[in-house]
Amino acid sequence: MRMRPYILAETNWKTVKETDYQLAVLPWGATEAHNYHLPYSTDSIEAETIAAGAAKVAWEKGARVIVLPAVPFGVNTGQHDIKLDLNLNPRTQFLVLNDILETLSRQGILRFAILNSHGGNDFRQMLRELGLKFPKMFLSEVDWYKMKEQKDLFDDLGEHAGEVETSLMLYFKPEWMRPLDEAGDGASRKYRFDGMKEGWAWAERRWSEVTADTGIGNPARATSEKGKCFFDLMCQKIGNYLFELAQADDGDWYE
């Protein structure tokens, strides 16, 4: 594979020195169990691959986008008793983000997007606070798993290691998966409280009390073809967003 100039880990000082980057993208994943069949690195693989695909779209349209190395650790406080689910507390994430943004701001790269691939991560409040510290920067978060088009492509959306993620991984890294017939069915328990069922109340789930196989959502109908279709759609939509963000005039953020 040839070096991709929009992937920092693959490029070099000569290329970087000569490129006026408009936007930095930080893929952020997690390291955690994904049912019996998917690798622990599923979220990080998704974050890196989707970020690269979207950046390619933006780059080929003329935006100078750079994808930073992925952060492979996420917030896994609700999975503290699942062996080798590695937790990064939100306050630690904040410190990591602060240092990265401080570097980018100092170097004049003032537009930034997190490509988030883990539901336990929530950067919005951090970006509010850091936006005050770096007022010249435009800070945003992209959560690919919230895209509504999923309902048109998949039978069982699930939440974690279900049909959607399994389809993506069948397309991205099938060699890292166990056979699909070894996967659990992703059955899960839900809170009994009406407020939580209706979405206006929230409490963190204790994962080992909710699901027997660590999955939420049935992966049985996953296919590589569905994964490719969803990936291509995401690359176009997120790539267009990155292009628009990179090309917008300073301060021209609103219609």
- For 124-170, what is each residue's pLDDT tens digit? 999 999 999 999 999 999 999 999 999 999 999 999 999 999 999 99
Predicted pLDDT of residue 1: 76
Confidence of residue 235 (pLDDT cuts 50, 70, 90): very high
Helices (H) and strands (E) in the chain, counts: 9, 4
Predicted pLDDT of residue 199: 93
**Which domains are assigned to the chain?**
8-154+234-247 (3.40.50.10310)
Collect all residues with Cβ–Cβ distance below 8 Å to 197 and sequence separation of at least 6.
190, 191
Distance of alpha carbon 127 from alpha carbon 94, whole angstroms: 9
- Which is nearest to 27 in space by CA: 11, 43, 12, 6? 43
Q: Say which residue the tokens 């998917």 belong to.
A: 38
Distance of alpha carbon 164 from alpha carbon 226, whole angstroms: 8
Once rounded to an integer, what is the mean pLDDT over residues 239-245? 98
Helices 163-172 and 224-247: angle between axes, nearest 10 degrees: 90
State how far Cα 120 lies from the chain centre. 11
Distance of alpha carbon 62 from alpha carbon 92, whole angstroms: 35
Q: Say which residue the tokens 């204790």 belong to.
A: 206
Q: Using CB atoms within 10 Å of the CB of residue 143, give its burial: 0 to 12 exposed, 13 to 18 middle, 19+ buried.
A: middle
Q: Mean pLDDT for the chain?
A: 97
